[in-house]
Copies of this chain bind each other. A is one copy, B any other.
Amino acid sequence: MLKTPVIVLNMKTYSESTGKNALDIAKIMDKVSIETGINMAVSVQSVDIKECSEKISIPVFAEHIDPIKPGSHTGWVLPEAVKSAGAVGSLINHSEHRLKLADIDYCISRAKELNLDQIVCSNNILTAKAIAALSPNFLAVEPPELIGGDISVTSANPEIVSGSVKAVKKVDDKVKLLCGAGVKNGVDVAKAIELGSAGVLLASGIIKSNDKEKVIRDLVSEL
């Protein structure tokens, strides 16, 4: 299982993080993680899972899995397939890829069957609490209005982090909480940990920067 505290980089589907670019960023994360001893992980597009997981040592996640078993499901993301390509887990229900409740439940159970880590995303405290009832091993709270923005959730809405930590623990205290949206530097990461989260999930803060290594090093500077 993913070790915490952890910094998880979600590559999304930016040009700057597709194919060779994804691998290049993943290698920087890998290098900085090894050098600093801080746990890091990346979630990459399906097409990039195999190469990234072969060439870096930190954990590689899928960005999504579909609620299916092997069979006739042309074009959907089979949990077994991301596993066989080298992923150790998957994001589930990201704000940009929301799922029906019954499908979140099914994706979590399929991931558990395959020993894949589950980072299930929620948009507020109430849905975080609801997801906690499904007992994924990780849960990430990200207010959608702050995703991709310049202000970190830890400054703009620290209550959503501490409130989610509290709500989630009450329902299932084995679920570890990550937070995300607008996270960009070491202060944001340190604050996330202080608020009770086990790490951060971020994307544009690294991917859209001109000096990715500098940003990545800064992220861990206060830990």
Contacts and interface: CB of A to CB of B under 8 A. Distances in A.
Interface stretch (A8-16, A24-32, A154-162, A214-222): A8-16
Contacts of A167: 133
A37 interface: no
A51 interface: yes
Interface stretch (A62-70, A183-191, A192-200): A62-70
B134 A131 contact: no
A105 interface: yes
Contacts of A132: 133
A126 B148 contact: no
Contacts of A43: 74
A77 interface: yes
A57 interface: no
B75 A63 contact: yes
A206 interface: no
A12 B73 contact: yes
Q: Interface size class for chain A?
A: 35 or more
A94 B47 CA distance: 19
A20 B134 contact: no
B47 A84 contact: yes
Interface of A: 10, 12-15, 18-20, 43, 45-51, 62-64, 68, 70-78, 80-82, 84-85, 91, 93-105, 122-124, 126-127, 129-135, 147-148, 167, 171, 203-204
Given A10-B74, A100-B100, 18 more contacts: A12-B71, A14-B71, A14-B72, A15-B80, A43-B74, A46-B77, A47-B85, A48-B50, A48-B81, A63-B74, A64-B75, A74-B95, A74-B97, A75-B77, A126-B134, A129-B133, A133-B167, A171-B171
